[in-house]
Amino acid sequence: MSHHHNRPAIVVDNGTGYTKLGFASNTAPSFVVPTCVSVSGGGVSSSSSSVLTTQSKKEEKDESNFPGNGNSKKKKKKKAYEYYSHHNHASKSLQDLNYSIGEDALAQINSKTIKWPISNGIVNDWTSMEKFWQKTLLNVLRVEPEEHFFLLTEPPLNPAENRERIGEIMFETFNVPGVHIGVQAVLALNASVALNASAAAASSKKNRNGDEENSGNDTSKRDRNDGLTGTVIDIGDGVTHVIPVCDGYVVSSAIKSVPLAGRDLTRFVQTLMRERGENVPAEEFSRVAQKVKEKYCYVSKDIAKEFELHERNPKEYVIRMEGVRAKTNLPWQADVGYERFLAPEVFFRPDMIAEKENGFGQFSLPELVDNAIQECPIDSRRKLYGNIVLSGGSTMFKGFGKRVKRDVKRVVDKRISESEVKSGNRLKAKSVDVEVFTHDMQRYAVWFGGSVVASMPDFYKSCHTREEYFEYGSQVMRSNVLEKEEVFF
């Protein structure tokens, strides 16, 4: 098994909207593929059945003209049935191989059924997921799975049965030598620690060349905190997670999760533009709304002032988008206005698009962060407030980190002041420092954290191996590698 260690491990981060995959030690994924599979409508079996029925009727009609051929009639009918059954099976096998993934699948949205195997971060269609992995590994990444160790990611509170299914597919279908399943929040923290260490090293080098000795204090601030203690805000395409992590272990009882994420923002932008009557082709509205969200949206400090600025000087804040209709080649134009700041505001005012009765319109993102930390052990709360890490593409909005920091600080200060009032001002609490750390790798923070972990020398010791899987069965995937002695011996 030692020869596998000479090859880089493969890191696969499966998300609701996109899957990131590449090799360990790289700073960015090699490929980012939409997590979708296109399948045919399934007309093969029905057509074969109709052919069989027509052929049988024809034979019955022919045989009816010749009396005494009953046995011959039955034999021919059986032979025809066996032939068309075999033909149907072969056609079905070819149909199973004829599918597309990612952008190729989305290009066939009008002619084929598109399946998204992951919903709200959890895999719910394992057949499509296996097909997706097969295409991405063999056709996109172009590797031999049996020659590489794998690091796969999982969301918090992932069912144990899903880990078993991952083991079954990876070891029995792809015959991989070893698999490590990492929690996305912990990997995001690993990414922030690695980036901080890199920044501290660069600052230290600058200090050696300069005269100032304390210019690296800001970048080394987080070194005084435990690196793997922090609160991860992970917002992807399908779900928002707030995950407290203490010393590398997820505090499962304090996790907050709401089904409000990037895909909902895209729909919100689309709704706002449609209600305003923007002249965008219907077949391109979703793509245009996503482009507006990713390229033009930002987080405002004060939504009322932002409305006033847009009304006072629309030429400066309103953006004109242009395009050509695919069907008619006629040009179209649309203005992008209030949705630029209204879309990200949903995270701070979810009641704009969600009813409180549904559960996730009750608390804003800063309140979710505060509630999650307050459910953690009291001796770790200050560290959790002081190390809030952003992860996921939907945290890349300009000003997002500053707004989260400001609003979380307001929630904390409000609770502290209320406690002091209730005590009759006899107790004075120490101020809580709130820090939100942003970096350029937020979009791929989980993948980059996996790349860092998979490049460490001890990574292979933390993997479930193929030999262990076939010795103990799929239940080995339920446990942590460090706990195997307690589980099986």
The contacts of residue 426 (CB under 8 Å, 6+ apart) are none
Quick one: average pLDDT of 446-462? 92
Question: Residue 436 has what pLDDT?
Answer: 94
Question: Residue 248 has what pLDDT?
Answer: 85
Q: Alpha-carbon distance 135 to 379, whole Å?
A: 47
Q: Alpha-carbon distance 223 to 213, whole Å?
A: 17
Q: How confident is the model at residue 96 (pLDDT cuts 50, 70, 90)?
A: low
Q: Is the confidence at residue 329, as pLDDT, over 80?
A: yes
Q: How confident is the model at residue 92 (pLDDT cuts 50, 70, 90)?
A: very low
Q: Alpha-carbon distance 202 to 195, whole Å?
A: 11
Where is pLDDT greater, at 213 or 135?
135
For 98, the 3-state DSSP assignment is: coil
Q: How confident is the model at residue 57 (pLDDT cuts 50, 70, 90)?
A: very low
pLDDT in tens, 206-242: 666 555 444 444 444 444 345 689 999 999 888 899 9
Q: What amino acid is encoded at 477 in this protein?
A: M
Task: Write out the two tokens for 363.
Answer: 């608390």
pLDDT in tens, 376-392: 999 999 999 999 999 99
pLDDT in tens, 290-303: 999 999 999 999 99
Percent of the chain residues topping a pLDDT of 70 = 79
Q: Alpha-carbon distance 33 to 19, whole Å?
A: 5
Q: Are 21 and 90 in contact (CB under 8 A)?
A: no
pLDDT in tens, 150-162: 999 999 888 999 9
Where is pLDDT greater, at 393 or 65?
393
Q: Are 101 and 33 in contact (CB under 8 A)?
A: yes
Reading phi first (left if > 0) and then psi (alpha if -120 to 50, else beta), residue 247 is in left
Q: Alpha-carbon distance 200 to 217, whole Å?
A: 9
Give the pTM.
0.80
Residue range 262-345, CATH number: 3.90.640.10
Question: Residue 56 has what pLDDT?
Answer: 44
Q: How confident is the model at residue 97 (pLDDT cuts 50, 70, 90)?
A: low
Q: Is the confidence at residue 420, as pLDDT, over 90?
A: no
| Nearest to 266, CA basis, from 306, 307, 297 | 297
pLDDT in tens, 138-149: 999 999 999 999
Question: Residue 80 has what pLDDT?
Answer: 46
